[in-house]
Amino acid sequence: MEQALSLLKQEKWRIIDQSSLGPHFNALQSFAMDDTLCHLVGLGSSFPTARSWVHHQTIVLGIQDTKLPFLEDGLHYLEEQGYRYIVRNSGGLAVVLDEGVLNLSLIFPDTEKGIDINKGYEAMWALIKQMFADFNVTIEAREIVGSYCPGSYDLSINGKKFAGISQRRIRKGVAVQIYLCINGKGEERAKLIQQFYERARKGAETKWVFPDIQPEVMASLSDLLNSELTVQDVMLRFLNVLKSMSKEIFSAQLTGDEFTLYEEYFKRIVDRNEKFV
């Protein structure tokens, strides 16, 4: 864990806060943004960057989800429930994003020795434990069977998952991403994905393994900590931890040349999505 903490101790952290852009901020823009930042940080033309983002009523599908035999029926159900959907450019399976879910990305340069994949996950786990160190709880990292998008670095309290971590690597840059269910009902989010899979699969045998979702294994941090947390509360905790681990944190949106690179990555992910859905 000490090695993971060392990743958080950067000389400077560039902060890009996109947590309050509202319902018109599309998740495709977020994934293009992280790809852009991976590229820039990997080249050494940007400091390590911490980005926060919130998307309203959006289901983010994994590429594997596009292989579901009755995908159109599942997507139609999501639309009926008032959700948009996109396919992300990294691994994993379907997750729910809404105004009660805060997403955080940490973008590091991959050093000469390389950042071991587990070290990236553990850096994010360490960050979250620091953020909520004032609560008398144990935050575990292990797969929560029955959750949506299960993985070995699901974060949970008392066996209930509130977060999932993923990674993306581009051109010597590493983006470690997490979604944190801050408030709202984790169980209701899980029921939505459960119904999506029921309609998109209809019990058919598939080459791919999809989760058998048990909604009761998912919850929000507000419920698990018995504290009415908001996205803004958690953002403050996030910034305070980064500030304590670096000499400087500073806010800086994309500059002209950086934005040109972002437009290229955005076009790429839009084109990919048009092939999938």
Compute and round to an integer the Cα radius of gyration of the chain: 18
Structure token digits, residue 222: 């507000």
For the stretch 17-21, contacts whose Cβ atoms lie closer than 8 Å and that sit 24 or more positions apart, written own/partner, are 17/51, 17/52, 17/235, 17/251, 18/51, 18/52, 18/53, 18/54, 19/52, 19/53, 19/54, 19/102, 19/231, 19/235, 20/54, 21/53, 21/54
Structure token digits, residue 270: 């839009």
Is the per-residue pLDDT at 3 higher than 70? no
Q: Return the domain boundaries, the chain.
A: 2-276
How many angstroms separate the first and last alpha carbons of the chain? 40
Residue from 245, 79, 225 nearest 163 by CA: 225
Average pLDDT over the chain reads 93
| Alpha helical stretches, state H, the chain | 2-8, 27-43, 71-80, 117-131, 186-201, 221-225, 231-244, 256-276
- What pLDDT, on the 0 to 100 scale, is given for residue 81? 97
Q: How far apart are CA 143 and CA 138, in angstroms?
A: 15
Q: Which CATH superfamily is domain 2-276 in?
A: Bira Bifunctional Protein; Domain 2 (3.30.930.10)
- Residue percentage of the chain with pLDDT more than 90: 86
Is the per-residue pLDDT at 218 higher than 70? yes
Catalytic one of 86, 106, 149, 242: 149
Q: How far apart are CA 185 and CA 12, in angstroms?
A: 36
User: What average pLDDT does range 33-48 have in this prediction?
Assistant: 95
pLDDT band at 105 (very low <50, low <70, confident <90, very high): very high
Three-class DSSP category at 169? strand
Q: How far apart are CA 154 and CA 149, in angstroms?
A: 9
Is the per-residue pLDDT at 2 higher than 90? no
Q: Exposure of 104 by Cβ count < 10 A (0-12 exposed, 13-18 middle, 19+ buried)?
A: buried
Residue from 266, 265, 273, 271 nearest 39 by CA: 265
Structure token digits, residue 3: 């090695």
Q: How far apart are CA 264 and CA 36, in angstroms?
A: 9
pLDDT band at 111 (very low <50, low <70, confident <90, very high): confident
149 is catalytic: yes
- What pLDDT, on the 0 to 100 scale, is given for residue 277? 64
pLDDT per residue as tens digits for the range 142-201: 999 999 999 999 999 999 999 999 999 888 899 999 999 999 999 999 999 999 999 999
- What pLDDT, on the 0 to 100 scale, is given for residue 275? 81
Torsion sign, CA atoms 27, 223, 126, 236: positive
Structure token digits, residue 83: 């959700």
Structure token digits, residue 109: 């340069």
In the DSSP assignment, the letter for residue 70 is T
Is the per-residue pLDDT at 209 higher than 70? yes
Q: How far apart are CA 152 and CA 147, in angstroms?
A: 12
Is the per-residue pLDDT at 213 higher than 90? yes
Say which amino acid occupies 181: C
